[in-house]
Amino acid sequence: MVIGLMGFGTIGAGVYELAKELEELSIKYVLDIRQVEIPELTHRAEDLFEDAEVDTVVEVMGGLHPAYEFVSAALKAGKNVVTANKYLVATYYDELLALAKANGVAFRCTAAVGGGIGWLTALERVRRIEPINAVEGIMNGTTNYILSNMTQNGLSFDTALSEAQALGYAEADPSADIDGLDVKHKLLLSANIAFDVSLNVNDIFTAGIRSITDGDIKNFKERGLVCKLLGVACKEEGKVAAFVQPNLFPADALTASVPTNFNLITYDTAYTGRMSFYGQGAGRYPTGANVVQDLLDIVGGKEEFYSKEGAPCAIANEIVSFQYYLRTTSAKKDAVKAETWGDAVLTQKMSVAEMAKLLEEIKQEDPRAFIAAVRS
């Protein structure tokens, strides 16, 4: 396999190093805007698309543009594509899959969800013989690092976020992480593959952790609960729910114990039941290794995507209900209150769709409102 590598940042350098160790893989070009001291460097994207010797393009640039234009050009030029870019694949899911099929090439993105875990290939394997009922999990190491440090070490949100940024877990602008957008994109890929559907990423209800406070953590601890940000999708009687929100678990639950920047992602199937995958959700070598695994799968003859092209499917968040922790200054909380938790309330049981509507209304009065679903 002759490879054109787009991007030589943290992940790109990991892919480069790992691929160099394998005789099946040969990197001919590395596209980067910087003057990186490697012999394969090029500043012309066209080199990767126009060189007939290159059969596979790896995209680890990140972001939407010019990644979208470059990946589209590679597919149209008849190149296999491997990417770690969940934002790109979630945004242009149907279009990229159709381009790969039309041009008879492979398109793989295992590293886009779970970093080094290999989650999408696990879904691909199990779904061959078992209907998948649900997928859920901690899919973002940055938010898990923040919540773990607030809970275990008593750090404030701002201090925990600053530490995450200093360690390279969070970007200078952490919005994609703390507002749940990163998890939303990963959840879309997981749900589409698990259920053979095509969801609209903009329709996934998403509540992040930007507004969580020390007082919230104190409330949770007093009741033996731990807060984690999860993406959840499930299918019941042909309807699919998909949402991202903070959740409260008993302190002895498996999900509650996931430390620092680790991920824990779970599927629930008809025959096997629950199966969880735990590991590093990001990093040069964990993520780079899954990119290289995708390359080796293609070398071994893997041409299909992880699932069939799914039909468009409306999200039905009315099929899933929880009691919610709701902390807000808005009087609207009183209409749904079941009991008082300090300066917050525990709501009556309500569907995710109902909470999404209520939270939208509340945030117009109180932008710092915070919710978390109570899980058993």
Catalytic residues: 186
Count the alpha carbons within 13 Å of 298 in the hemisphere toward its beta carbon: 27
| Segment (H or E) for 325 | strand 324-327
Tokens 């070490």 belong to 153
3-state secondary structure of 118: coil
Tell me, rounded to whole angstroms, the distance of Cα 245 from its chain centroid: 13
Query: CA 12, CA 19: separation in Å to the nearest integer?
Result: 10
Sequential DSSP letters for 249-293: EETTSTGGG--TTEEEEEEEETTTEEEEEEEE-S-HHHHHHHHHH
Query: CA 105, CA 49: separation in Å to the nearest integer?
Result: 14
Nearest to 2 by CA among 56, 82, 43: 56
